[in-house]
Amino acid sequence: MTVDLGLTSDQEAIAELFDGFFSNESPTTIARAAEPFGFDADLWSKVIELGAPGMGSAAEVGGGEASLSDLVVVAEAVGRSIAPIPLIEHLAALAVLDDADLVAGSAIATLALRPADADGLWRLVPAGVVADVVVGVDGDDLVVVRSAPPMSGPRNHASAPLADRSARTGDRTVLGPASAFQPVIDRWKVLTSAALVGIAEAAQKLGVDYVMEREQFGVPVGSFQAVQHGLADLPVLIDGGRLLTHKAAWALGRDESGILDWRSNDITDGTALAAMAFVFTSDGAAVATDRSLHYHGGYGFAEEYDIQLYYRRARGWSLVLGDPTDECLALSDRLYGPVEN
């Protein structure tokens, strides 16, 4: 074992398969048509044919045994295409669920990112509009609830299928203590980070293509240094985010517990790295979509151009977890030790 920062040949094949699939089956017209709730049932049935919903599950329950690092590659492709399917939530929830219909994808699972409130309500659950099964924390317990999806929810910035779901009404099972949720949320953060890297990369490409095509003062807008330098900040946010996301996936996939030695910048703790990747890629996707939109000029603000689709999802896909400052404070506690509040 030694440092190898390339994708495996299997992962390269996965990237090619999913990028090809999404560019054929989910051009941005599909994301537009799926607004405002962000779900395309037809597209979901097509990813079932690819075996994607059960990709990360164990072979004995019919899954594909893919590693978290492999799923990161899939999640990046989801981000690049902003495909309107809840694959990331589903793959994260399946860290602790193995019902046959979920592995097959004929039922959809998701996770509640924050504990249920006093009334037993999980607020603004991602994929809550369409999920048949929700896993999340209620009080001291990690519970899974199977109930009929509402098939509607509040209109929102990202046109994401967010909806409130009950932690107590429906077919409810206690899976374990609330602490058993950590692997699920870590997995969701890593996969969402990958999707945000995909969003940032797609936004960069839209921006570069536009500034090469658009001419002002008789030359492409992209020949101006002020524009070039604004775009030149993006590749490092994309590559840095990708490396950090893969490091988090690698760390979470190891049997041994990780190191948290911030004094030597030696960090292999999966939970800390997942939080780091999430904060960094959330910021990176926000910056990349903002710059790209800006360099489109007025057209970037027009609904007709695709950059606005990415701009809204860059924010929506990460802010469902909460204020990034809270994520930073939790990370600070993990790295430097908790403080009394």
- Residues in contact with another protein by CB under 8 A are 1-7, 69, 204, 208, 211-212, 220, 222-225, 228-229, 231-233, 235-236, 239-241, 243-244, 246-247, 250-251, 262-265, 267-268, 273, 276, 279-280, 325, 328-329, 331-333, 335-336, 339-341
Closer residue to another protein, CB minimum distance, 17 or 243: 243
Contact 48, 106 (CB under 8 A): yes
Closer residue to another protein, CB minimum distance, 201 or 306: 201
Peptide bond into 220 cis (omega under 30): no
CA dist 330 to 143, 257, 260, 320, Å? Answer: 23, 19, 14, 16
Closer residue to another protein, CB minimum distance, 40 or 269: 269
Q: In whole angstroms, how close is the CB of 48 to another protein at the nearest point?
A: 28
DSSP string, 245-292: HHHHHHHHT-SS---EEGGGTEE--HHHHHHHHHHHHHHHHHHHHHHH
Q: In whole angstroms, how close is the CB of 233 to another protein at the nearest point?
A: 7
CB atoms within 10 A of CB 265: 6
Tokens for 231, please give them.
Answer: 């775009």
Closer residue to another protein, CB minimum distance, 165 or 247: 247
Tokens for 244, please give them.
Answer: 């950090």
Q: In whole angstroms, how close is the CB of 247 to another protein at the nearest point?
A: 5
Closer residue to another protein, CB minimum distance, 118 or 263: 263
Q: In whole angstroms, how close is the CB of 76 to another protein at the nearest point?
A: 13
Q: In whole angstroms, how close is the CB of 77 to another protein at the nearest point?
A: 17
Closer residue to another protein, CB minimum distance, 152 or 216: 216
At 127, give phi and psi (nearest 5°). Answer: 65, 10
DSSP state, 223? G
Burial of 323 (0-12, 13-18, 19+ CB in 10 A): exposed
Q: In whole angstroms, how close is the CB of 25 to another protein at the nearest point?
A: 28
Closer residue to another protein, CB minimum distance, 59 or 263: 263
DSSP string, 113-166: SS---TTSEEEEETTTTT-SEEEEEETTEEEEEE----S-----TT----EEEE
- CA 29, 190, 108, 120 torsion: positive or negative? negative
Q: In whole angstroms, how close is the CB of 235 to another protein at the nearest point?
A: 5
Q: In whole angstroms, how close is the CB of 340 to another protein at the nearest point?
A: 7
Q: How many residues does the chain have?
A: 341
Closer residue to another protein, CB minimum distance, 100 or 212: 212
